[in-house]
Amino acid sequence: MNASIIKTIFFGGFIATLLFACSSDDEPSINPTEGLTKISEAYANGAAAKIEIWAAEELFAGYNPIYLFITDSVTGEAITEAEITLSPLMTMATMSHSCPVEVTDGKAVNDLFPAAILFSMASGEMGSWSLEAHIHNHLKNLSGLAAFDIEIKATTPTKVSVFQSDAGQKYFLSYMFPEGMKVGVNDFEVVAYTMKNGEFVPAQTLSIEFTPEMPAMDHGSPNNVNPAYVASGHYKGKANFTMTGEWRLNLALTDGETSLGTRSFDIVVE
């Protein structure tokens, strides 16, 4: 008879829940990718490693928690210590650009390396995304590069906002509900990055006033909590939805003394 154990980890402001299947003799049989969707795989030949990318769903324009499952390309043994650099690239007709990335500190959790990518736009007529993962395999003291072709889907409504302040400062904004959305009070996160000297940097000094509204019904809801800074550009708050249907998340943003105006995301609570 099998049982299951659920373990939770915290990374970059989001919570990941991983499922273990256990046999009756209490020896854990690890299935690290249980409940996840395989996105892509590639070999980093110089590092003697195979890298698989997994996520809760297909990758989309917005904030995507992902997980890297890395194995020895010969033995199939899981690699649990590796330095990893992720480099996404959007190639367009006249230019190319990257986007914000979060990576682990080099140690796997339950055989998975948590990471996250905030894709600023979808794949399509404007251009296409690719992803490179450079790893140093501590097990064999080898380094290598794996290249992935990835598809980033558009979402309707959108889950990402890229904008500039009046002073020309660029911001990348997205959101997530770590436990999903439901009627009632929900944990809610805003993820924000900016650019400094051409590098993506977590926005650490935002003040956010959060107001959910239901435009079709002309009402909001009580008992919400403004997102407050936690770490790495993540701001945690609570959103209260009093009924199912279409809602709008209104975020009035200030960075220091600079007002960034209001950014809104439309969602559907089922």
Q: What is 21-83 written as a DSSP string?
A: EE-TTS-EE--TTTT-EEEEEEEEGGGTEEEEEEESSS-BSEEEEEEEEEEETTT-PBP-BEE
Q: What is the pLDDT of residue 10?
A: 39
Q: What is the pLDDT of residue 31?
A: 86
CA 196 to chain centre: 21
CA 168 to chain centre: 26
Q: What is the pLDDT of residue 134?
A: 97
CATH of 160-269, one of 2.60.40.3340, 3.40.50.720, 3.40.50.150, 2.102.10.10: 2.60.40.3340
Q: What is the pLDDT of residue 111?
A: 96
Q: What is the pLDDT of residue 138?
A: 87
Judge whether 235 and 221 are in contact, CB under 8 Å: no
Q: Where are the domains of the chain?
A: 3-150, 160-269
Q: What is the pLDDT of residue 94?
A: 95
Q: Which helix (H) or strand (E) holds 221?
A: none
Separation CA 27–CA 5 (nearest Å): 12
Separation CA 43–CA 46 (nearest Å): 9
Q: What is the pLDDT of residue 26?
A: 52
| Domain 3-150 and domain 160-269 have a common topology | yes
CATH of 3-150, one of 2.40.50, 1.10.10, 2.30.30, 2.60.40: 2.60.40
Query: Angle at the Cα of 134 (from 39 to 41), degrees rounded to 5?
Result: 25
List of the chain residues with pLDDT < 70: 1-29
